[in-house]
Amino acid sequence: MTRRPFDVDALIIGAGPAGAVAALVLARAGARVRVYEAGPLPRHRLCGEFVSPEGVADLTALGIDLRRVGGFELARASVSAGRAQADGPLPAPGVAIARFALDAELARFAVAQGAEVITRTRVTALAGSLAQGFEAHTTGSTTDRVRARCVIGAFGRHPLALHALRRPAAARLSVAFKMHRVGPHGLPPRVELHAFEAGYVGFSPLSPERVNVCWVAQQSIIRTLRGGGDAAPFLRAAAGVQPLQALLACTQEDPAARCAESGVQFGAPRPVWQDVLLAGDAAVTPHPLSGDGMAMGVRAGRFAAAYALAFLREDLPAAAVPEAYARAWRREFSSRLRWDSALHALLERPAMVTPMLRILGRWPAAFEALVTRTRGHALLQSPTVEVPR
């Protein structure tokens, strides 16, 4: 790998699952890696906090055991709308884990491999290309000007400092809200989704005495229910979801874990921006109903690292990297994103999803097949990089 005149081989913006995994893979391969994270690390983040089976397999292949840091195994999935319900096994067990614990563990692994992780520092300007190299300017806990051979953007849904990366406004936006409920909740070890008009709420038990509760709803609907605090509109929207009412009655909220976000745009993919390889929510915010967001972030981090390494090792010329990465990204994620989008639209309309759930409840094999459609495949080896001939 060329060492001069660049400060680092790879600059990564964001230390969530996608960014931390990319940093880990690149540093393990001998690249000089620097990661800038805008906020403190770890911290609570808006997330369903469920790593689906293929995400668990990816992390295991990298030497990371989530159960060692408090991950709680969930082997089944359940979807309900009113009295209709479908339930079945996952293709393999997934793991529920708080982002506070997951992000800390992934960053620890990346640093142990030699990556430099700098927190409370935002990238405010970025210019350059793979052919010429990049220059980034930062502000925050450190004010830097750093030159890098390649850049991976893993900055989540809202790159506030890099205005040019913003997507055009969507006609229909969503809002999301997360809380942790603590106490003996009595929920089975499964991930659950419960539909209500214009949205749904999910449960991911993090332990026998802590559960992630996460709502997603149409922003226009929640605005009509405002008043009484951040949580009140979501509680009103899901007032008819009986499992939620039962959970609220037997648990208390941990206010430190509360997170909310408006203006969320799902399913608008863009894996590359001006030679920057995008990964995780920076490339696309997947519909959360499948519980595949963190697994997609981990997988995208592996893919971005593989293509960055191919470039750094001069196996892939600069001009070929963006198209090759975008093609690989779409081949990996497009199918499950289409299924997620279709199911998301159904879950927002309980009158439509209820008959389907009644059928799936009587035909478990069909429910299992549907769950499989929203999943990726296990990837035990490093992603294969296509090199143009």
The more confidently predicted of residues 28 and 352 is 28
In a domain, 359, yes or no: no
pLDDT above 90 covers a percentage of the chain that reads 57
pLDDT, residue 289, reads 63
In a domain, 292, yes or no: yes
In a domain, 309, yes or no: yes
Provide the CB-side half-sphere exposure for 337 (13 A, CA).
Answer: 18
Length of the chain: 389
Residue 179 scores a pLDDT above 90: yes
Task: Give the number of domains in the chain.
Answer: 1
pLDDT in tens, 19-64: 999 999 999 999 999 999 999 999 999 999 999 998 999 999 999 9
Residue 82 scores a pLDDT above 60: yes
pLDDT in tens, 222-279: 888 777 677 888 888 888 899 999 999 999 999 999 998 877 777 678 899 999 999 9
Residue 132 scores a pLDDT above 90: yes
In a domain, 335, yes or no: yes
In a domain, 187, yes or no: no
* Nearest by Cα to 213 from 257, 164, 156: 257
In a domain, 130, yes or no: yes
Give CA–CA dist 86/11, Å, rounded.
44
Residue 161 scores a pLDDT above 50: no
Mean pLDDT of 9-17: 96
Mean pLDDT of 186-211: 93
pLDDT, residue 256, reads 95
In a domain, 79, yes or no: no
Structure tokens at 357: 């759930």
* Residue 126 domain boundaries: 8-53+97-169+266-340
pLDDT, residue 1, reads 47
CA-based radius of gyration for the chain: 21
Mean pLDDT of 170-196: 89
Domain containing 112 — which CATH number?
3.50.50.60
Give CA–CA dist 30/280, Å, rounded.
23
Whole-number average pLDDT of the chain: 87
End-to-end CA distance of the chain: 22
**pTM for the complete prediction?**
0.89
Mean pLDDT of 288-311: 88
Helix (H, G, I), strand (E, B) or coil at 116: strand
308 neighbors 26 (Cβ within 8 angstroms): yes
In a domain, 144, yes or no: yes
Lowest mean pLDDT among 35-44, 132-141, 170-179, 181-190: 170-179
- Within the chain, residue ranges assigned H as helices are 17-28, 53-61, 99-112, 219-223, 232-237, 242-250, 293-312, 321-347, 350-362, 364-373
